[in-house]
Structure 1
Amino acid sequence: MNVSFDKSTLRYSLPNKLLCIDDNRLIPPFEEEENEMGVCSECEGQLFSFTYHNFQDYTAVVCRCVDCSLLRIILFDPAWEWVGEYPVSIIDDVSQTSANSVERNSISDIGNIAAIKLETVFSPREIEAMIQKSKGENYVRQYLYNARKKYSLFNELFGYSLEI
């Protein structure tokens, strides 16, 4: 498996718990859990996870070192084999395009949202229509119309506004 993204663009929004990859992919967490993840490559302190994100075919785990406080992304393949460790910076410059998107909690790629969150609010047909629309494929307009009526509820429950 080959990971395809620009490692220099990894950013993380602490208040929103969103991982930003390639300055435009916003990935909400599917799990928030603290686990010991290994040793920091900078200072050899303990790394502890705090959010888990689906990224391509991988799981991206955001970790913080207890000694130097650096944030790291650790990628695991589907079999939970280690793929790589990458530094990540905290988003704090709101003039950046990606930061503005993160601050709005806007999600336009529905594939980055945990299925259980979607299924809580939307019907299977509505989810299918949103996925098809986000990919530029043909979709049933009525199902997308019904889903859009529920966007405010989804935002209220999970804190993400959908733009599909």
Structure 2
Amino acid sequence: MNRVAERSLSLLYGREQLDPFSQSRNVIGFCGICDSELESLAYYCTDQEWLISARCKRGHLALLRYDREWNWKEDLPLEFVKEEIRVSDLDGEMLNSVFTPAEIRDMIACQQGRPYTRQNIYRARAKYERFEKLFGIKIEI
């Protein structure tokens, strides 16, 4: 199964991981499941072909394959994969607006498999929903 990451839109295609060539949004056809319009999510380029990840208005996903001259080859199944968000990759100002320094320290330590204080993790987990509401980013440890 081909998979596209929800946030970065990187594509796992066979054994290759492809970063988007472009993330422009265009109507590119009709859904093979429900016949609603397909909108592109991202375009990918390989040595032999072009690939387009797309989603219809009803949420169905498809991966469209084209040759290098943009002749359509086939539509393939596609699914979203959740990306693991590392607390250490998030902006410090965002984290500091919701979590205490001790909670941030211990969330990072927990994700890295280092010793941490459980009580700080409990306190931080109680604030996850607030962080998601403010920034649209879901944290999981």
TM range (shorter): 0.5 to 0.7
Q: In 2, Cα distance between the equivalents of 1:84 and 1:77? A: 10
Instruction: Tell me if 1:77 matches 2:61.
Output: no
Structure 2 residue identity aligned to 1:18: S
Unpaired runs of 5+ residues, structure 2, are 90-141
**Where does residue 13 of structure 2 map in the other structure?**
21
- From 11, 31, 34, the equivalent of 2:3 is 11
Indicate how the Cα distance of structure 1 residues 52 and 93 shifts in structure 2: closer, same or farther if over 3 A, else same.
closer
1:92-113 Cα shifts (integer Å, max 9, x gaps): 386xxxxxxxxx9xxxxxxxxx
* Aligned counterparts of 1:10 and 1:29: Cα–Cα separation in 2: 14
Query: Which amino acid letter does the alignment assign opposite residue 36 of structure 1?
Result: V
Q: Tell me, what secondary structure is at the counterpart of 2:24?
A: coil
Moved over 3 A (4+): none
CA distance in 2, matches of 1:26, 1:93: 14
Identity across the alignment (%):
21
Query: Given that residues 9 and 41 in structure 2 are in contact (C-alpha distance below 8 angstroms), is that contact kept between their aligned partners in structure 1?
Result: no
- Once residues 19 and 25 of structure 2 are traced to their aligned partners in structure 1, the CA distance between those partners, rounded to angstroms, is 16
Structure number, greater radius of gyration: 2
The 5 Å alignment of 1:25-40 reads: 25-40=16-31
Tell me the distance in 1 between the aligned counterparts of 2:11 and 2:80.
10
What is the match of residue 135 of structure 1? none
Taking structure 2 as the reference length, what is the TM-score of the superposition? 0.56
When the two chains are superposed, the root-mean-square deviation of aligned CA atoms in Å is: 1.8
> Which whole-Å CA distance do the structure 2 matches of 1:21 and 1:74 have between them?
12
TM-score computed with the length of structure 1 as normaliser: 0.48
Counterpart check, 1:89 vs 2:61: no
Equivalent runs, 1:100-139 vs 2, <5 Å: none
Structure 2: which amino acid aligns with 1:57?
Q
Stretch deviating more after TM superposition (47-56 or 34-43): 47-56
The 5-angstrom pairing of residues 147-158 of structure 1 reads none
Q: Which residue of 2 aligns with 1:63?
A: 54
Matched residues, number? 85
